[in-house]
Amino acid sequence: DVKVTQSSRYLVKRTGEKVFLECVQDMDHENMFWYRQDPGLGLRLIYFSYDVKMKEKGDIPEGYSVSREKKERFSLILESASTNQTSMYLCASSLSRNTIYFGEGSWLTVV
């Protein structure tokens, strides 16, 4: 069974804090993705990684960075959280150009 695990389901952080969202997949997938989902805006790609230590910007990378030190783990970092980063964050993974599988999501509230 496909498994993408996001370690934190619900987080509340203060403005200016550094925030780490962690994602792990157990399917030996090359590609991993971070999307955010907002009402009326749908899913938007923040960053993706096609190999260890490799990353590419998505459509809305500003204010975010990522880290992929191991194949199974992909972290999203908010260097200095702001209220407009309150959202649901979705991690996903895939084999090259195959179906993308999503985790359960992390709800982040920045106050």
| Binding footprint of another protein on the chain (CB under 8 A) | 4, 31, 33, 40-43, 45, 48, 50, 58, 90, 92, 94, 96-97, 99-105, 107
Residues 6+ apart with CB under 8 A from 87: 36, 37, 38, 108
CA distance 37 to 66: 17
Least CB distance to another protein at residue 105 (A)? 5
CA distance 108 to 71: 25
Least CB distance to another protein at residue 85 (A)? 19
Least CB distance to another protein at residue 62 (A)? 17
